[in-house]
Amino acid sequence: MPLHGHFDVVGGISGDMTLGAFIDALPHLEQSLRDDLSAFGVLDHVTLTIRKERVMGLHVTRIDVDVVSDAPPTHHWHDIRAFINQADANPKVKMLAIDIFTHLAEAEAQCHGVPVDHVHFHEIADWDSLADIIGVASCVIHSGIESWSCSALPPGSGRVKTAHGLLPVPAPATVLLLRGFELSNDDEAGERITPTGAAVLKTLVSTPKAAAPSGWLNEIGISAGARSLAQKPNILRLFVSEVAIDKRGDTVTRLSFDIDDMTAEELSVALDQIREAPFVLDAGYHVGFGKKGRMRFCIEVLGIAGHESNLIDLCFAETSTIGLRIDDCHRRVLERLDAPENVKRVRRPNGVTAKIESDSLAATKTLKDRRTHSRNTEQQNES
């Protein structure tokens, strides 16, 4: 069964905390971690120390990355990308490290209003951050974990010192990276999620949810951050589980709501507008009856997972509803086979079936001819 990783962000998450959680859960990754950092040339400029500690009575792993005094600067994104690309290293690790850095660069570019290639990193691009990001990429690739989730995230509060002065917590780039993730304020102050930690979550967790899928827990790793919190341990936990994932299906977001104050014509136009959105899979309705015998339209909209906010805004803008029901549901989709553009051809358990689009029959005169044309086309594509 495939492996799933779940980050339980108790105290916070950063690059070195993520590394520590990996090594604590899966100690065998230490050798591949050091091998990959050496292949990228990172160990020429940093030393990596792995040590055990106790934090509020818990046994944890902490990783320290110390930069040597004569390490050259690594501030610009195009320099970092070139450094990673030219390394004689594991191509999968390279690709994932670039993905994490790209999310950082895009967030920084949006914050400062500059092109991505012109991004000049300050706090996140020293050699210790390179070690964190390449190290996390190494651990992810060699762990064999295929899917990821995370708990609700503590936003923290206060100010953080940056090259641009004191900025609010979470830092502006971190806020952009955490769009779509669930936040839960625990009243602990300070920077709880670093830009690097946020970029790791953004890259790995494709559908942010607070709950991990059901499965069988194999390993757990606990790491600690440098700061101490007032009410709880500043730790990050990593759960590694075996999960039964049906790869023949996927997850979609479903919005449902009822309307009794729009006409059928208005609703038809609204649903056409909703279906036009690129993140909408389908939209439709059936007729029901509400209080005092009033007729109502029961609407259901299916969208691509991860676009919940966009779906909500769209439905509120296009319809008169003042409330929505939202849930994620698992769906199964039949395998689509090659066919002419106007024909849906799928593989069913009992064989291949085909269905011609009704719009393709509109130009054919008489019902008999339309049925004959439909039958012939479908039989041709089913054989």
Q: What is the mean pLDDT of residues 222-230?
A: 90
pLDDT at 120: 65
Considering only 178-182, 200-204, 334-338, which range has the smallest mean pLDDT? 334-338
pLDDT digits (tens, 9 = 90+) for 97-123: 999 999 988 888 887 677 777 666 654
Q: Are 104 and 167 in contact (CB under 8 A)?
A: no
**Nearest alpha carbon to residue 181 among 16, 313, 7:** 7
pLDDT at 269: 94
Residue % of the chain over a pLDDT of 70: 93
- In the DSSP assignment, the letter for residue 44 is G
pLDDT at 373: 87
What single string gives the DSSP state of each residue in 95-117? HHHHHHHHHHHHHHHHHHT--GG
pLDDT at 74: 66
Contacts of 357 (CB under 8 A, 6+ apart): 342, 343, 344
pLDDT at 249: 67
Neighbours of 367 (CB within 10 A): 9
Cα separation of the two ends of the chain: 36
**Domains within the chain, CATH numbers bracketed:** 3-243 (no CATH), 250-332 (3.30.70.1380), 335-382 (no CATH)
pLDDT at 6: 95
**Nearest alpha carbon to residue 122 among 158, 86, 156, 172:** 172
pLDDT at 61: 95
Residue 12 gets the label, from left (phi > 0), alpha (psi -120 to 50) or beta, of left
Q: Are 6 and 239 in contact (CB under 8 A)?
A: yes
Q: What is the mean pLDDT of residues 254-277?
A: 93
Q: Are 213 and 4 in contact (CB under 8 A)?
A: yes
pLDDT at 335: 80
Highest-confidence segment of 51-65, 330-344, 369-383: 51-65
Q: Is the pLDDT of residue 247 over 60?
A: no
Highest-confidence segment of 88-97, 173-182, 327-336: 88-97
Highest-confidence segment of 27-36, 169-178, 352-361: 27-36
Q: What is the mean pLDDT of residues 152-158?
A: 87
**Confidence at 245, pLDDT banded by 50, 70, 90:** low
Q: Which two tokens stand for residue 81?
A: 């990308």
Q: What is the mean pLDDT of residues 59-76?
A: 81
Gap between the Cα atoms of 184 and 199, Å rounded:
18
**Confidence at 237, pLDDT banded by 50, 70, 90:** very high
pTM of the model: 0.66
- pLDDT greater at residue 4 or residue 161: 4
Q: Is the pLDDT of residue 135 over 50?
A: yes
Q: Are 113 and 163 in contact (CB under 8 A)?
A: no
Q: Are 52 and 14 in contact (CB under 8 A)?
A: no
**Confidence at 162, pLDDT banded by 50, 70, 90:** low
Q: Letter for the amino acid at 125?
A: A
pLDDT at 124: 47
- CA distances to 4, 5, 18 from 216, in Å: 10, 11, 22
- Phi and psi at 60, nearest 5°, equal -130, 165
